[in-house]
Structure 1
Amino acid sequence: MPIKRQTIRDHTAEANLFARRTIIALLVIGVTLGVIVSNLYSLQITQHEDYQTRSNGNRIKVLPVAPNRGLVLDRNGVILAENIPVFSLDIIPEEVDDLDATLTELTHILSLSEDDISDFRQALKGQRRFKPVSIKTRLNQQQVAQFAVHQHHFPGVSVNARLARYYPYGSALTHALGYVARINKRDLQKLQESGQDANYAATHDIGKQGIERFYETRLHGSVGYQQVEVNNQGRILRTLDFQPPTPGDDIVLNIDIELQLYIQSLLEGQRAAVIVTEPKTGAVLALYSNPSYDPNLFVHGISSKDYRGLLSSGGRPLINRATQGQYAPASTVKPLLAVVGLEQGLITPETTMTDRGRYSIPNVSHTWRDWKKWGHGKVDVVKSIEVSCNIFFYDLAYKLGIDTINASMSEFGFGDYTGIDLAEESDGIMPSRGWKRANTNEPWYIGDTIPVGIGQGFWTATPLQVNHAINILINHGQKVLPQILRGVKHNDEISLEGLKTARPIAVNDDKNWDLALRGMRGVVNNQEHGTARLAFKGTPYSSAGKSGTAQRFTVAQDEEYDAETVSAHLRDNAIYVGFAPYESPEISFTIVLENAGGGSSNAAPIARQIMDFYFRDRTPDIAQVEP
């Protein structure tokens, strides 16, 4: 049997192995500690400022603060648009134990509608539970009082106030003043494209129409900021810094609210438009379109029912007839064409013709009629304006031709925007050969020119354009653009806007302006045959004007126009333009009444009432007008 030998242990080898393993372990530990120390150094020393900023970003928030919107005042200091406190009922969900039961009880107290509840539940989605959510806005005083009595039963529910736009004169100023409404996606996109979105970070409303839209930048102001400390749930713990917002500018308009309200009362029940301006400055004293609507409906979001009612209304209240309504200017352009004929040498102050009630041109079978069946007999340029002789101006248009008429009337502003400080404006149609070819694919015929001589045919213009053209005539060719803004108010001083002008119309003989204006004076003051003499009999002031009756359709050669048998919407539009006093005009105006009939019998009497009010009947203290 073999003998087992016991192996002798090699302590040296074991010691060397242990030493090597120890060194390797220490190296691993050393490297690991080195990495940790290096990272700690990087985090706490090298990148300290970066991580400190991130930490503060999680702890400190910068919240935008909306500026107060500027006020809008009339020329006498009457407030036309202001900011008033409105009350809303807000709920903080996490503070309400039983939300459904709370909503049920609130419904009984405040008569909440199904839409209120539905909108509230929709707003809850994606909203943090500690933030308030509105369940009802625009609480009235009675509702606020009713809730105040029961508030101790509703933890987490409160009434809060904020400022909202309010228009004290409602529908009287809608088309001039416009309104604000909620910022929508389209508005936000425009703000982003213009780089102004940061300035609207806390703003809910923006100007949508009228002056509110045109001067949005001035009225809005600049956003402010507050720096707050929040916890890990986003709750505000304290305010660290506050930079107040800069309020918007208070702007003053040329509008005279008392005159505007009076005009509104005159046009009740009619589809109409009225413009009143200062000829020398272009200041718009009144701009009214009827029917109108209450702009306050849009401030807090108009209901579907109310909006459908406005859209379906036969009176089209959403259209600003004063700047967007397109009407045949009719005989109101005869004084302007007279100036052109005189300048072209086609007529002189001594030129006469005999009006027998009908007019025809060579090689054309159609006959054009005068408004007076048997004609006006012998007329010159002044009398043709006084009696509104169609035959005289048919012949003048034939001699001038459409090219000259288009060029000269374009100088008076027809077929183009007037430059008024409103975005809602139409340019109308000043017909030409090119226009007809582009729109009807037909050539211009000589017969198309004849009705243009009395402001009919293809010619359309807005009441504002007609008024602007008459102002150019009053100013002997000087062009002062219409302007609603008077200036910006700072404390008690107003920084006035300068006049807006354009290149004047040059004439060979300045007396040609006076001749046309003399004809307009005869319209009112010639007691034998002035077409508006009856409306202005006995006025304590001197005035001048021109009536117009715009046909809505062409009457056949062998037919007579009978308003009694014509559908209401096809009856003639009544137009009147005028100014006063004649020697030194303070105001000019244009009136259009849709489907009202003759201009001298329907529009001129309203013009008389407006001038009587302006020169005689206004209250001494205009600033005390009540909304």
Structure 2
Amino acid sequence: MALIRDSVQELARFRLRVWVALGFVAVCFALLLARLFTLQVLRHDELHAAGEANRVTVVPIAPNRGLIKDRNGVVLASNYSAYTLEITPTKADRDLNALIDELATVVDIQPRDRRRFFRLLADGKRFDSLPIRNRLSDAEVAMFVAQRWRFPGVDVQARLFRQYPLGEVGSHLLGYIGRISPKDREQMEVWDEERLANYKGTDYIGKLGLEQSYESELHGTTGYQQVETSAGGRAVRSLGHRPPTPGNSLQLSVDIKLQHLVEEMFGDRRGALVALDPRNGEVLAFVSKPGFDPNLFVDGIDVENWKLLNESIDKPLLNRALRGTYPPGSTYKPFMALALLNTGVRRPDTIINDTLVYHFGGRAFGSPENERGGAMDMRRSIVESSNVYYYSAANELGVDRIHDQMEPLGFGRRTDIDLEGEVTGILPNQDWKRRVLKQKWFPGETISLGIGQGYNAFTVLQMATATATLASGGQRFKPRLVREVEDVVHHTRRRVSGEALPPLNIKAEHVAVLKEALHGVTYQGTSTRSFAGAPYPSGGKTGTAQAVGMKAGQKYNAAQMEERRRDHAWYMAFAPVDQPQVALALIVENSGFGGQNAAPIARRVFDYLLLGQVPSEEDLALVREGKALAPMGKPRLAADWRLPGEAGFVPPPASAATNGSAAPAPRPSASGGVP
């Protein structure tokens, strides 16, 4: 009986184990069915799309960047195609340094190429294809392709490169493009998704100048190609594509031949010039010297060149026309005269006795030794550049009223030119000093404002726009470097320049007084020798502005001063007088008299624009060294003036003098500025 009972219990335990096993199998099978139902039914669409994504790769296609041309169609920024040797770090089968060493036995790789590669790698782009050599020759491409099997993760790609055919010419207005940096990506985070998507596959972005400010026009629309890939990631066939749309082209108002001529006339000197058409605000020339070669930045500038540019005492990366601020010196006097007329403080025939010294608050404000003094009406005060006339004018107007009269002319505020980075300059008043310097305004500080010294600090662009406003009788326009934007796909053009601003209420009789006085400067005043023989009437005003302050009673002697502490040479001008077609302002840093160093450049700009002439080579050489006045020799036709790279172009000879190598003649003593 006991044996039978044990057998029954053993059978019951066996059956229980069988049912448990069957239950476990049933549960597992149910789970498999549930998972299969989920994958095949509930998540079918999702998983099908994922499978297709693994099989199909979308490759972005970067668009051609838009061209930049001058007003006559000369190409200033273009594109060309070239092969690059690129490494994808995550696909490399060995140490990158060892890989590059071995690549160097096949293709020439310089130390700067290696440094650029590792700089890009340090930016966190290990999954990107990074260039180790740009612009491979056909022979180098063939040599690498024959041995590609030796270098996993390395390939040759066809890329578009930006090119600036004229090198340094117009560098500050054109700017440059460069690789998108981590800082750029941070700034791009605020963009909307559509704009961000347009930069997939794009490695470059505008960094400066028009390349930066017109980035949205120049970039174009990114295309794509759908490619079926194998399990190993190799392209099998194309499934479809959308071609990229090239960027729009910019046609500038700038005449690049004039731009090049002005840059040549500056020579090795530092400074800036802006020439405008007062009838529509178009910029005809926009010069900042020294310049730089924007081609250096396209692939990522190397350490040596960056150090040369960034640490140079001449600051070639500083856009002096847009960001350099200077006291305007005596070029400010015509605008002070306008303020006197607008406010009724003085009439054109009001006589002020110029005793060559103006006393105020226990201090004597002086005049240049070559000034004659005597009875000054408004015309004579401008023609002979009387200091005392404008010392007393500043005292009568007061700092706040000067500010309120000058601000509508564009001083102390941005002009809104189509470039980024413009500064406001300084147009002082009492509130400005309290707010910025945390100090009270003293009446004696007003006096030197009348002759363009003191806290006054303006850009050459501001002086040019103010001159254009005065020459046009109060009509104002936004200054524009770009004349038209061309849609290269639809062949349409959109006008950019010519946007008028509300005109200033300047009486015609007041404009006539000032224009006649400024015309007198060119045949009776400080620019007479530069404009001798000019067949057109022009108006202008020289200025010599202190670069550093002088102590009371201290005499200025340029020969005893370090070159960069000497005075700046200014000139503002317009021509012809009755119907101005051009207004300009220019400064030559630390070069002394405006009549000797700035006015001759203006004369030749007018000759180019109004007569179609460029100076003789002999004359041009003298202008470069600040030794010219009226043009010498036989002028050449502007049509024959050659740009760098053109047939017949002759590079300028090396300057015989460098900055500061020759001591200029001593300047007449003045405690407050000279004409």
TM-score by length of 2: 0.83
Distance in 2, Cα, partners of 1:222 & 1:55: 28
Candidates 592, 610, 615, aligned match of 1:615: 610
Question: Is the CA contact (8 Å cut-off) linking 2:322 and 2:422 kept in structure 1?
Answer: yes
Report which stretch shifted further, 533-542 or 80-89: 80-89
1:513 aligns with: 511
Deviation at 1:432, TM superposition (A): 1.1
- 1:472 corresponds to 2:446: no
Q: Give matches, 1:59-208, under 5 Å.
A: 59-90=55-86, 106-107=103-104, 110-114=107-111, 116-117=113-114, 134-139=131-136, 141=137, 144-145=138-139, 148=142, 152=146, 155=149, 159-195=156-192, 196-208=195-207
Deviation at 1:577, TM superposition (A): 0.7
Q: Give matches, 1:392-407, under 5 Å.
A: 392-407=389-404
- What secondary structure is seen at the aligned counterpart in 1 of 2:160? strand
1:563 aligns with: 558
1:485 aligns with: 482
1:326 aligns with: 325
Q: Mark the CA change 1:387 to 1:44 in structure 2 (over 3 Å): closer, same or farther.
A: same
2:339 aligns with: 340
Distance in 1, Cα, partners of 2:497 & 2:143: 55
1:412 aligns with: 409
Deviation at 1:31, TM superposition (A): 4.9
Q: Between Structure 1 and Structure 2, how many residues are aligned?
A: 613
- 1:453 corresponds to 2:450: yes
Distance in 2, Cα, partners of 1:353 & 1:244: 73
CA offset digits 1:529-566 (Å, max 9, x no partner): 32211110111222111111101234444443222222
Distance in 1, Cα, partners of 2:594 & 2:125: 61
Q: Mark the CA change 1:586 to 1:27 in structure 2 (over 3 Å): closer, same or farther.
A: same
Report which stretch shifted further, 93-102 or 60-69: 93-102
- What secondary structure is seen at the aligned counterpart in 1 of 2:560? coil
The aligned amino acid for 1:586 is Q
Deviation at 1:12, TM superposition (A): 11
Question: Is the CA contact (8 Å cut-off) linking 2:357 and 2:366 kept in structure 1?
Answer: yes
- 1:231 corresponds to 2:225: no
Deviation at 1:16, TM superposition (A): 9.5
Distance in 2, Cα, partners of 1:20 & 1:285: 100
The aligned amino acid for 1:245 is P
Distance in 1, Cα, partners of 2:146 & 2:93: 13
Deviation at 1:498, TM superposition (A): 4.8
Deviation at 1:210, TM superposition (A): 0.6
Distance in 2, Cα, partners of 1:370 & 1:100: 69
Question: Is the CA contact (8 Å cut-off) linking 2:468 and 2:584 kept in structure 1?
Answer: no
Q: Mark the CA change 1:206 to 1:267 in structure 2 (over 3 Å): closer, same or farther.
A: same
Report which stretch shifted further, 612-621 or 530-539: 612-621
- 1:602 corresponds to 2:597: yes
Q: Mark the CA change 1:212 to 1:121 in structure 2 (over 3 Å): closer, same or farther.
A: closer
Distance in 1, Cα, partners of 2:242 & 2:313: 50
1:432 aligns with: 429
Deviation at 1:311, TM superposition (A): 1.7
Task: Give the gaps of 5 or more residues in structure 1.
Answer: none
2:671 aligns with: none
2:250 aligns with: 251
Deviation at 1:463, TM superposition (A): 0.4
2:662 aligns with: none
The aligned amino acid for 1:406 is H
Distance in 2, Cα, partners of 1:23 & 1:598: 111
Q: Mark the CA change 1:546 to 1:14 in structure 2 (over 3 Å): closer, same or farther.
A: closer
Distance in 2, Cα, partners of 1:551 & 1:127: 50
Deviation at 1:163, TM superposition (A): 0.6
Q: Mark the CA change 1:254 to 1:36 in structure 2 (over 3 Å): closer, same or farther.
A: same
User: What's the RMSD between the two structures over aligned residues?
Assistant: 3.2
- What secondary structure is seen at the aligned counterpart in 2 of 1:85? strand
Distance in 2, Cα, partners of 1:250 & 1:346: 51
Deviation at 1:493, TM superposition (A): 5.0
Distance in 2, Cα, partners of 1:270 & 1:623: 22
Distance in 2, Cα, partners of 1:546 & 1:222: 49
Question: Is the CA contact (8 Å cut-off) linking 1:62 and 1:227 kept in structure 2?
Answer: yes
Deviation at 1:37, TM superposition (A): 2.8
CA offset digits 1:181-231 (Å, max 9, x no partner): 111111111111122322211111111111111111111112222222223
Aligned-residue identity in percent: 36
Question: Is the CA contact (8 Å cut-off) linking 2:279 and 2:472 kept in structure 1?
Answer: yes
- What secondary structure is seen at the aligned counterpart in 2 of 1:84? strand
Distance in 1, Cα, partners of 2:183 & 2:98: 39
1:275 aligns with: 274
Deviation at 1:622, TM superposition (A): 8.6
1:442 aligns with: 439
Distance in 1, Cα, partners of 2:96 & 2:451: 71
Deviation at 1:100, TM superposition (A): 8.5
Candidates 41, 55, 63, aligned match of 1:45: 41
Distance in 2, Cα, partners of 1:189 & 1:73: 31
1:590 aligns with: 585
Deviation at 1:19, TM superposition (A): 8.2
- 1:58 corresponds to 2:57: no
Question: Is the CA contact (8 Å cut-off) linking 2:107 and 2:144 kept in structure 1?
Answer: no
- 1:536 corresponds to 2:556: no
1:552 aligns with: 547
Question: Is the CA contact (8 Å cut-off) linking 1:275 and 1:322 kept in structure 2?
Answer: yes
Q: Mark the CA change 1:34 to 1:281 in structure 2 (over 3 Å): closer, same or farther.
A: same
Report which stretch shifted further, 369-378 or 209-218: 369-378
Question: Is the CA contact (8 Å cut-off) linking 2:283 and 2:481 kept in structure 1?
Answer: yes
Distance in 1, Cα, partners of 2:50 & 2:435: 63
Distance in 1, Cα, partners of 2:259 & 2:462: 19
Distance in 1, Cα, partners of 2:577 & 2:397: 29
Q: Mark the CA change 1:482 to 1:124 in structure 2 (over 3 Å): closer, same or farther.
A: closer
Q: Mark the CA change 1:600 to 1:35 in structure 2 (over 3 Å): closer, same or farther.
A: same
TM-score by length of 1: 0.89
- What secondary structure is seen at the aligned counterpart in 2 of 1:45? helix
- What secondary structure is seen at the aligned counterpart in 1 of 2:431? helix
CA offset digits 1:105-153 (Å, max 9, x no partner): 6535654334545766898999999x966432234x4xx4356468645
Question: Is the CA contact (8 Å cut-off) linking 1:376 and 1:389 kept in structure 2?
Answer: yes
